[in-house]
Structure 1
Amino acid sequence: SAEILKDDLKIVFIPKTLHEHFECVVGKHVFIDKPWTKISRKKIIDNLQSQNMTSCFWKFQKEIEGITNDYVLVGYKPFSSTDEEFLICTTYKAKHCIEETQVQNNIGGELKKKVERSMCRVPGPWDSKSSDKDIEEIKSVQTREKITYKWKLPAGRLQAEAEFEDSNSKSVKNEYVKLEPRLKEIFKSSDALTMESSVQAVRKMINTEMQTIPRIKYNKCIQSVAVEEEMFQLQPLNTSEKALDDFLNKHVPK
C-alpha cells in the first residue's frame, strides 16, 4: 500500500491562521496517534475561489475539483519541523486505504483495551500462614484491654471510719496532716470501686549481636537456603582455617 499511496499523497502547508477554519488544529482535531481528519471540500473550494493563486491548495486545484466526496482527507505530520505541514489525499484509492487502516487500528485498540481489562488482577484475601504470630509481641498497638486488680482486705477494714490524731511534725514515719472542716462543711468519705487511667506501655528495645558457628547446624536463629551445590563442597583448609577448626573442636561442645 505504500507504493500505491506514494503518488496519491501530496504535501500541503496550511497556515496556522486557517487551522481553526478547516478544523485541523493540532491537539484539538488532529493528534500524534490520530493524525487524519476530514476537511470540508466546500471550504477548500471557497478558499480557492477567494484566494486564487495565494491559496495553499492552489497546486492541487484539479485533484480537489475531481473529488466527488463532501470532504477531503488530510493528515497531520507529527514529526515535521512545523505544525503547518500536512498530507492531502488526492485519489479515492489513497483515501480508501487510509480509512481501512484507521478502522483496523481502532479495532486493535479496542481489543487491546479488552485484553488489558480482562488481565486486571484483583488482590485476594491475606493468608497469614501463622507468620503474624511471630511479631505479635513486638507489634505496636494503640489500645489495650482494661486491667483489673483485686485487693484482699480484712473485713474489719471495710467501711471503717478513718481515725486521725496529732503526730509529731518532725517525724518522717506515718506523717500526715489532720483536716478539720470549717463551718457548714461536712467531709464525706467516698469509696473508689473502679478507676480508669491512661497507660502507655513501650517495650524496652534490646540490641543483640549473634555470631554463627558453621559446626552448629541447628541454630533456630538461622535459616539457610542452598543456592549452588558447589558452595557446599569440601575445600582444602589453609593454615588459618585449620587453626580455627582446631579452636572450634576444642571449645565448642559436640
Structure 2
Amino acid sequence: MTSSPALPSWLTRVGVFDLETTGVDVTRDRIVTAHVGVLDHHGAEIAARTWLADPGVPIPEAATAIHGITSERARRNGSPAPQVVAGVVAALRSLLDQGVPIVAYNAAFDFSLLAHEARRHGIAPLDSPSPVIDPLVIDKTYDRYRPGKRTLEIVAAHYGVDLTGAHDASADAVAAGRVAQALAQRFPLPPSAAELHTRQISWARAQAASLTDYFIRIGRIEPEARLDGRWPVREADPVREVDLMREGRVDA
C-alpha cells in the first residue's frame, strides 16, 4: 500500500478559520458564528474556539436556512458583537504572530467581512494577515479545468475529506484545513507558507480577471466593470459574492 506524501513542515500545524454570517456583503453583513482552531499534521483539531454572536441586526431567513441560527437564538444565547469580533481578531492575530498559517476557504470573504466588522466596532483590524492559505484559490490554480462547482462541500469530497454538518463554522473550518493538507500532498506547492501567500495574491487577481471576462461575455456585468481580485482582504464587491454564491462557485 502506497503511503501519502509527507506534508510540508509548514502545514503540520495550521490555524483554521470560518465565519457564518447574516449575508454575503462584506461591508454590511455581520458575523453570526465564528470558529478558530488549530490542526496537527494528522488533520486532528488540537485547539479550538467557537463564538455565537448577537449581530445586532435581524438574521435574514435566507441566512438562517443556510447555517440554522435564528435571530431569536442569537439574541438569547449570543455574546455582544464587539466582544465576538475582538475575540476572533485576537485569536487570529495570536496565531499569525506565532508564524502559524491560517487556512480559510474563500479567504477573501471571511477576512474582508471580519475587517469591516472590526472597524465597525472600533477594533484594530487584520488589514494584511499573512500567511493565509486559501484552498479555493489553490484548487482553481492547480486543477483549473476541472468541471463543476467549487463549493467547500464539493471540493472536500473531491479530495477525500469528510465534511459532516456543512455551514457550521467549526465543521467548515476543519474541513478547509484538511483540504489544504490534501492539496499539499497532491500538488507541488511552494516551499514555504510565505511564498504560497505571495503567489495566491497573484493567483486570486488572475482568477478575478478571468471571471470578469466571463461575466462580461455573458452579459452579467458591464464591459467597464471589474471584479475586485485583492486577496486576502478586499473592498466591497457584493455583486461578485452574490453571483458566485448563486452559481455555487464559492462557499462562504
**What TM-score range do you get, normalising by the shorter chain?**
under 0.3
TM-score, normalization by structure 2? 0.24
TM-score, normalization by structure 1? 0.24
Higher alpha-carbon Rg = 1
Pick the structure with more strand per residue. Answer: 2
Pick the structure with more helix per residue. Answer: 2
Greater RCO between the two (CA within 8 Å, min separation 6)?
2
